[in-house]
Chain A
């Protein structure tokens, strides 16, 4: 393999959407046998660039070269034929099919017009073995395996289809630390041979600096720089990505935070004792105090989201008790709201009416309070207008449909609803998932203001950065139990991950 000719080049590539420059004069190069990471805030142009590489966007300005020769991709199929495969953030696997079928999706080996199963199983096994995953039975349906294996299957599919360049878009966002670790090692192994290359997109700078050979930083559609990963300093990267500095970013990206022990000075507003729900959580006890932000960290599947649902009456615990301001808390969301419990679900879409105007999204829980049997739109709009200005929804137009807002602004609407009447307890799950750093900071700021106003905030997340950015006290859940509490000490991302993963290692495999 000629290592002097880059596998892929972009030369002065620009892309406009309407009046907006999504990419401005990008020069980008992937060498054979390298992992080239792409970092930047949401909206920096990463996804536009990936779509150009993968043939999804074909009408750009500038030139793409594949192995030194100019190409103009006609579509994703063309990209695949050349050897460019993209592994999407949202996986395109079929959990009901076998592992082997997923690997050979759409191109199963045939014999006399029917699928040649023995051959397919054999080749699937071989390709997984090559990736170092012999323990996966290719005859099992994929849904029997964790998400890490789903990701693996996508990679195996890309490789068996002959891909030379594999684009990975946030491949670890849903993975546990162990799975992440394996994926990173696998990514390194992939490029070892020197003929395959990976473009690796991630928010997690630690992964990026570990796995990549080179890092390209994008900001506002422009390439800021390409640097060697070895020399990269995380704080420096953050600064390059943002073009500015704030304490928050360092806290959230560098992943360390001083947790203070101020909670004992405050009144407990919510007491949970011995709460259990089979296959969700077991024997959970904790206190939430007025005016504190209590972080509840856990890996996906550790039961922390379900605990949040139980507090809001969406799940009925089988035993244990929840006491809010001295009285037992039970029932449905309506009763929870009336008692002063507010809730934002981990998936933004499930909590919002995208096709409906902002004001209707905000007023729904309060219709009976805002006006009588006949809602007054004027009053609703007024109430909504006030709270969306407070949280800084852009554009602050209560009549606009939520679907037209960016993800961060949608989340602000979801939170703003609970500012109409301030709750006692605010259970907020994954409030900043998939948001850019600026929007994250704004959301965290709102949570801090709410806690300053006396609300007990339970911040539930699987992203250590989110927890570390705001929580004053941190609980860690694993396998449905609270396994660790961090109070009054320096907490790092590594400590959280270790606590969350520790329990898992002890489990028999």
Chain B
């Protein structure tokens, strides 16, 4: 009896260790399973062309997701990124239409995005407003600015650079994919190898302890909000080039996907854990899923439902097992 009970204590700890490990690698397994599944059940999925399509499809999300990764690592969130992207695209197109000399419209647009990011950061870090509230308000402001600038119309005058980056190719590779890859790479290098990157992780892991160790946590939070705004802006600028026009709601719908991809990859919503490699996995999961569902001709009306369920399962993993870490 006593021996038996002594043994029964062991499995839970092993199970927990296994779950902790699987939380870390769950996104990779998810990606592999989805990949194999679609490769088997669809003739058109596993082709070089389709792989290129997937990369193409997730590129805008990747640019936006880079900034979101920074924000989530500090345990904040930015719900305004997609509206920022729309707004930045609109500003770039607006000044191009107004015949401002190139490349100024793009720079002005990115600066405007950065400015809105500063407001997000100051509101969060210095005024102590929860970031989801500040950025929710900011999403309305960005959206409102887009509408006001365009008066609801579509602008077809785009900066030439946006056109090239959005729909041009070099050596057969889409510029869009290259921009996304470079953005992710830059994000990764900053997070992994710079002092600033370490501060980002430590601020998210324990803001109070970071402050006690002399880290300017308010500055860090502001900085990541600005980074998120600028990457969102970059996605907007490249995005209008891809679409061929700037509309006042062009990228609004990307919010869920962008945040979802980062979380799917395994970056913790509670800060301090995750990074760009995780985000890349998350982006690929979302890309493979979206693309694959098209390939196996699932009822188009079920696509969103299935994506939603997968996102929910990923969140359960993220929160249930991340929540255990302090216990």
| Interface, chain A (partner B; CB < 8 A) | 16-17, 58-61, 312, 314, 332-334, 336-338, 343, 345, 350-356, 360, 364-365, 367-368, 372-375, 417
Contact = CB atoms under 8 A, between A and B. Distances in A.
A58 B215 CA distance: 45
A373 B214 CA distance: 16
Interface in B304-325: 325
Contacts of B213: 333, 364-365, 417
A165 B2 CA distance: 26
Contacts of B216: 332, 334
Contact of A350 (B193, B198, B209): B209
B214 A337 contact: yes
A334 B218 CA distance: 13
Contacts of A365: 213-214
Interface string B257-292: 000000000000000110000000000000000000
Contact of A352 (B5, B193, B206, B211): B206
Given A59-B8, A353-B210, 20 more contacts: A16-B6, A58-B5, A59-B9, A60-B5, A314-B211, A314-B212, A333-B213, A333-B214, A334-B216, A336-B214, A337-B214, A350-B212, A352-B209, A353-B202, A353-B205, A360-B202, A364-B215, A367-B198, A374-B194, A375-B195
Nearest to B8: A59
Contacts of A374: 193-195
17 contacts: A16-B6, A59-B5, A59-B8, A312-B212, A314-B212, A337-B214, A350-B209, A353-B205, A353-B210, A356-B205, A360-B202, A364-B215, A367-B198, A372-B195, A373-B194, A375-B193, A375-B194
Contacts of B202: 353, 356, 360, 364
A255 B292 CA distance: 73
Contacts of A17: 9
Nearest to B193: A374
Given A59-B9, A356-B202, A334 B195 contact: no
A354 B206 CA distance: 9
Among A312, A334, A364, A373: residue with most chain B CB under 10 A: A364
A337 B211 CA distance: 11
Interface in B205-249: 205-206, 208-216
Given A355-B272, A356-B205, A375 B8 contact: no
Nearest to B204: A353
A337 B212 CA distance: 9
Contacts of A354: 206, 326
A138 to B, nearest CB: 33
Contact of A353 (B2, B195, B206, B214): B206
Nearest to A337: B214
A345 to B, nearest CB: 6
A60 to B, nearest CB: 8
Nearest to B273: A355
B195 A355 contact: no
A346 to B, nearest CB: 12
A336 B8 CA distance: 52
Contacts of B5: 58-60
A334 B194 CA distance: 19
A345 B326 CA distance: 19
A367 B199 CA distance: 10
Contacts of B272: 353, 355-356
B245 to A, nearest CB: 41
A375 B198 CA distance: 8
A16 B194 CA distance: 45
A351 to B, nearest CB: 5
A338 B201 CA distance: 22
Nearest to A370: B195
Interface in B169-216: 193-195, 198, 201-202, 205-206, 208-216
